[in-house]
Structure 1
């Protein structure tokens, strides 16, 4: 890697760290920070696993020291960032694998390891090994979906590989993939689920069973649309 590309990579890394610190409070509750996962997946695809790991580590340390966030800022980020980059590289550029790496690394590994950290280091009581798994997985699904859709649009516009080459990262063939498009539609259902959940909580907290089921209907509708899209658009056997 020449000096210009190395400098560009460091500048981009610094920008991602700054952006991650600024947008991390959006939608945040303890155990769920969706925008951190957006940064993780984006950085993993653009820069690779080690730079993504450093980005997540730097963001976590800044959030802990300047915002008083517990060690979840680290356990809920660094493993997913690294695995996202590794899965993306091992799959030779499949965005869905970068998404899966974030879900597994943060939603499962990071969530489980958060228990001993929060119990023995932070002194929090009443936790179990799987206490943080549901909220971590929810956060990764939301933030990872946003990153997947963002990167998919860059890929369709032929910009993703251009950015990767400019940064000196490994670029992959960005051919159209009906399966990935269908997965993008399906993943969008998690955003719809979140939007409906927030709307119901805000405007109809006592809406009853039907209103509370609306979020699941929205999620199912996106899943169904993804299945229909894949069935219609997939190459037919000769």
Structure 2
């Protein structure tokens, strides 16, 4: 395991956990968390889907253990991280990491979260109650992650991790 990847992943986990107390939008039993989407896009571009899933899982787990998250944090963040990482890996274009994040979290993750809320948590709601906010949050977070990556790419600090740095400049 690469120590640099592990260190940067740990730093992003810390940012994800700490910011969850500051930047979130409560929507019933769900908490929309745009910083998670920023982190998912960054992880997709820098390290791919497997590190992205691990970071999303650990942020969700720690948030739940601290009482700042819900069970719905797992499917949305992990599916978005996976799809963002797979699409970026297959295209080498950061726009596809954003699309993967929005589709993975905003649509697929929202449907899974709706199912968990309805069948496991006993919370009645409509599917649009999940899909709308999840899409909005993942779109805002995905675009923010893209611009943060562009800013980082200009400094060449993470050049070793970004396979297609010209895509971001």
TM-score w.r.t. the length of structure 1 is 0.64
1:11 aligns with 2:7: yes
TM superposition shift of 1:143: 1.0
Two-structure CA RMSD over aligned residues (Å): 1.9
Question: In structure 2, what is the equivalent of residue 88 of structure 1?
Answer: 88
TM superposition shift of 1:66: 1.1
The one of 134, 158, 171 aligned to 2:132:
134
Matches within 5 A, 1:116-195: 116-125=115-124, 127-162=125-160, 164=161, 171-175=162-166
CA contact (8 A) 1:112 1:130 kept: no
Q: Take 1:12 and 1:152, find their aligned partners in 2: how far apart are those partners?
A: 17
- Of structures 1 and 2, the one scoring higher in RCO (CA 8 A, sep 6+) is 2
Structure 1: give runs of 5+ residues left out of the alignment: 165-170, 182-238
Matches within 5 A, 1:42-121: 42-92=42-92, 94-121=93-120
Structure 2: give runs of 5+ residues left out of the alignment: none
List structure 1 runs of 4+ shifted beyond 4 angstroms.
Answer: none
Q: Take 2:119 and 2:164, find their aligned partners in 1: how far apart are those partners?
A: 46
Higher-Rg member (1/2)? 1
TM-score w.r.t. the length of structure 2 is 0.88
Deviation track 1:49-86 (CA, whole Å, cap 9, x = no partner) reads 00000100111111112125221211221000111111
Q: Give the number of aligned pairs.
A: 165
